[in-house]
A and B are shown apart, each in its own frame.
Chain A
């Protein structure tokens, strides 16, 4: 089943095109990654899909067109974005951040919220330890966990992650990617934007390469990881090291 279908979208900043004619689709339980250099328009793509930026073209979610819909409407439909800057509620506690992630389901009552919180605490035990702490005092890795946890509280059908590895220590990146793989089992579709192409292609089913606002290459992760151009540009000379 197709969760997200993006057809030919364009975004421009003050008349200057940032992304041009991008199409992609994500199916249920699938991890799709978009890799590419800094400034290629990867974040712009996610922001356009989420409705943060105005775009032309078509975005269908679960078969329903989302063009022109507000962010809140898209969240209610089941889309969640973990933005590059995390956008946490810094002066509020970790637990309040998570509770607010449940805003979409607030009508289900406190018991359902408790259950959702327990699920997130099982996924990220660190967040349970830090529940009374202000979000602004967390370390980089914990902030990423909280941002993901908050997004998952909404029980999305599609989780979009913008550079989850950005600025994190390698060991923590490994943990985060581990969690992303584990999330696939729950049936959520994942659209992952990464500069860390090696790690992204390891966990993704399919990948797209984006350069200067266009998709220049796409295929299964294995094909991409073996593509000589990708190896040279993104994976370096020794993909088998480590």
Chain B
């Protein structure tokens, strides 16, 4: 192994690590705010990627109809859960969120998709289609269980993951897709050959992390989200609707998932079920980072990315095994250091 291979592997690891970092961050966020281990986030990666691939080829993505269906179900769930508390304004808001917004996105897609939109339009449209599904799923599946133990929420999340994988097969078929990169540029820096897409990924990941940091540190909504994570009862007592906080956390997770998919599908072929293993790497990073620390999750994600890339060079058959096994010594170390903890709160 010489220096140039080392550099290439490191570059690969960092690019993938950046994606895993985004996924890990959103997993930590969702867990902190809602106690849900969002297993289904990987499906958002696949859905985002395949929707984007379909749009760049001028096809109407099948996931579009899922958005409409989830909107209707979300309306029913919202009306039921808010009974007794509904005002005219809250019903209008619910209608806008569950009917108007999906309808507008569906209409826009039906008009734009046959025109074979440009890459940026296709990317934005894919984000618009996939992101709202996440808060809708929260409304339908998790909000009624807000007080359930973590294990029940985890089982629900696994069920959601299985259902979405199946739907993915219906919408996108079993073939793999690849989409054109945002930029074909190749930048040579010494022995290093940097594809434009890699630079896009790292730049967007960094920008998003900074934006998240600013959101949580400087805005009242961001602080309300943190407050909900720190002390749910305290948050409710100052009038923060904790369901709203859950919706925002899930929306962020859906957005980050879809965006990650769009960013990596030009680099690697994705199928309807490849979201899970990508999501699992984000999850591994989140766990190594302690499922509670944002910087910890980012560092761990880079570590996962680098481990993966070096493992694929030395022992490519065992790549996944090595990456996922890394979680065991970390868990062992954590449990030795902190002792057993209650699984519930």
Q: Which A residues contact B (CB, under 8 angstroms)? A: 50, 52, 67-73, 75-76, 80-81, 83, 87-92, 96, 99-104, 106, 150-151, 153-154
Contacts and interface: CB of A to CB of B under 8 A. Distances in A.
B334 interface: no
A96 B231 CA distance: 13
A101 B85 contact: no
A87 to B, nearest CB: 4
B236 interface: yes
Interface in B201-245: 220, 223-224, 226-227, 230-231, 233-241
8 contacts: A71-B239, A80-B237, A89-B226, A92-B227, A100-B220, A100-B235, A103-B239, A154-B238
B231 A154 contact: no
A89 B227 contact: yes
A91 B224 CA distance: 13
A68 B220 CA distance: 28
- Counting chain B CB atoms within 10 Å of each CB, the highest count among A50, A89, A102, A150 belongs to A89
Given A92-B226, A100-B235, 5 more contacts: A75-B237, A80-B237, A92-B223, A100-B240, A151-B237
Contact of B237 (A50, A68, A106): A50
Interface string B46-62: 00000000000000000
Contacts of B220: 99-100, 102-103, 106
A70 B85 contact: yes
Contacts, number: 72
Contacts of B339: none
B239 A104 contact: yes
Given A68-B85, A99-B220, A99-B223, A75 B238 contact: yes
Contacts of A81: 237
B312 to A, nearest CB: 38
B84 interface: yes
Closest 5 CB pairs of A and B: A75-B239, A87-B234, A68-B84, A104-B239, A72-B241
A83 B233 contact: yes
Interface in B239-293: 239-241
Nearest to A110: B220
A88 B238 contact: no
A96 B236 CA distance: 16
Q: Dominant SS at the B interface?
A: helix
Contacts of A83: 233, 237
Given A75-B237, A96-B223, A89 B231 contact: yes
A100 B227 contact: yes
Contacts of B241: 70, 72
A219 to B, nearest CB: 31
Interface in B8-43: none
B33 to A, nearest CB: 13
B239 A89 contact: no
B340 to A, nearest CB: 22
A102 B41 CA distance: 33
B144 to A, nearest CB: 14
A89 B230 CA distance: 6
Contacts of A73: 85
B238 A100 contact: yes
Contacts of B85: 68-70, 73
Contacts of A150: 238
B278 to A, nearest CB: 31
Contacts of B231: 87-90
Contacts of A87: 231, 233-234, 237
B230 A101 contact: no
Contacts of A100: 220, 223-224, 227, 235, 238, 240
Given A70-B85, A99-B223, A90 B230 contact: yes
Contact of A91 (B230, B238, B240): B230
Nearest to B228: A89
A96 to B, nearest CB: 6
A68 B81 CA distance: 12
Nearest to B81: A70
A86 B223 CA distance: 18
Contacts of A92: 223, 226-227, 230
Nearest to A85: B233
Contact of A154 (B224, B233, B234, B239): B239
Nearest to B230: A89
Contact of B239 (A52, A72, A91): A72
A67 B83 CA distance: 12
